[in-house]
Amino acid sequence: MKANITETSQKRIVIVGGGFGGLKIARELSNTDYQIVLIDKNNYHQFQPLFYQVATAGLEPSAIAFPFRKIFQKSKNVHIRVAEVSKIVAEQNCIETSIGIINYDQLVIAIGADTNFFGNTQMMENAIPMKSVGEALALRNTILQNYEDALITEDPEQRKGLMNIVVVGGGPTGVEVSGTLAEMKKIVLPKDYPELDFKMMQVHLLEGSSKVLNGMSDAASKKAKIYLEKLGVEVMLNARVKIYDGKNVFMEDGSSIRTDTLVWAAGVTGNKIEGLNPAAIARANRIKVDRYNKVEGYNNIYAIGDIAWMTEEKYPNGHPQVAQVAIQEGDLLAKNLKNQLLGKPLKPFHYKDLGSMATVGRNKAVADLPRIKFQGFFAWLVWMFVHLMSIVGIKNKLIIFINWVWNYVTYDQSLRLIIKPKTRIKK
């Protein structure tokens, strides 16, 4: 079965994935002489850096998601399809999807990365990842429901497990989630649940290496740890998790932590797609590409963003899996594809590191920019400005800004809703 997409005389570029890279290239190629088909399993773009604020009731999911069809309403050459891609059939220049076969002249793989549990199936079953809006909302539901359950249990050990939260992974996501949860413990949750003793609640951040924010400077790492500990987070370095059974976290050193909630933010692996030569697959399921983002061994298939593995002299093990890499690769690939139409020479990719930032809580952030490193209140303001400007849609920017101002003035979030999907009974 073929998907119902009108065939034209235009060359067709199929983009699989509407994350930062896929969206960037689709926007740059909209209103060109190419026919663009953008495929994603969701009908919206999601802003991953703010998932943690959805998970901690700071923002609603709709504030960080934007419909693809809204973005491309005025682009007649862009076709949106909500589908999952199961296989690439390179010999026939087509892909197999849940809505049928889609042909392409050029294929761009921008499927991003998913949570890496490193083969630990028990962790996969019991831990809560945070790589989508849906998973962030599930974490919010779990945390809030746990406090509702803690109110009614008479077992002190069970109450302890319901109130304690463990975050595994000391990267930006782990640091941001831990800091926000610690602030909720101090300011927000005691007002909602005055019958509970929040001295019982502990937020643990477990990091397997010797420092948090491993990809940032030592100054940023040390300051982030100080901020977290001042907020009351128990930061445990060189702490390696062995098993989590849903009730207890067992460490390799023999210690354990009682918790019903474990947030897994400890690693990513590329999303899988069948059909490519195994020789083109690198470590962590990333796809090998050259400096033009062309997949190794193929003339008309490209990969960008987290899924792409490209080496440069400064990055012999591939680029970091961050939004800026995906955006810059999508931008250059779009320019190169335009140059192909015009018969102009192509430009090789070179990653320009614009810096890294992480927020640790109210008025607290760390920033490593190319020429300056700073921490504290100003870093927090810069972090907010950069993220606000990166959000798609003026309405979304306004909603987020209003939420942030309200939270700052009132020391409160007003979005602590337990929203559960209703299961429809089939007749």
Which residues are designated catalytic? 176
Q: Apex CA 125: angle with CA 121 and CA 129, to 5°? A: 105
Query: Residue for token digits 């773009």?
Result: 45
Cite the beta strand spans of 247-382 per DSSP E: 248-251, 256-258, 261-264, 268-270, 287-288, 301-303, 308-309, 356-361, 364-369, 372-375
Quick one: 354 exposed, middle or buried, by C-beta within 10 A (0-12, 13-18, 19+)? Answer: middle
Alpha helices (H) in 320-412, listed in sequence order:
323-342, 377-390, 394-410
DSSP 87-113: EEEGGGTEEEETTEEEE-SEEEE---E
- 11, 106 in Cβ contact below 8 A? yes
- 136, 55 in Cβ contact below 8 A? yes
d(CA 235, CA 237) in angstroms, rounded, equals 6
d(CA 177, CA 168) in angstroms, rounded, equals 10
Q: How many CA atoms lie within 13 A of 242 on its CB side?
A: 9
Residues facing residue 87 across a β-bridge: 96, 274
* Two tokens, residue 123: 């962790």
- 319, 325 in Cβ contact below 8 A? yes
CA 81, distance to chain mean position in Å, is 22
Contacts of 371 (CB under 8 A, 6+ apart): none
* Two tokens, residue 245: 């059974």
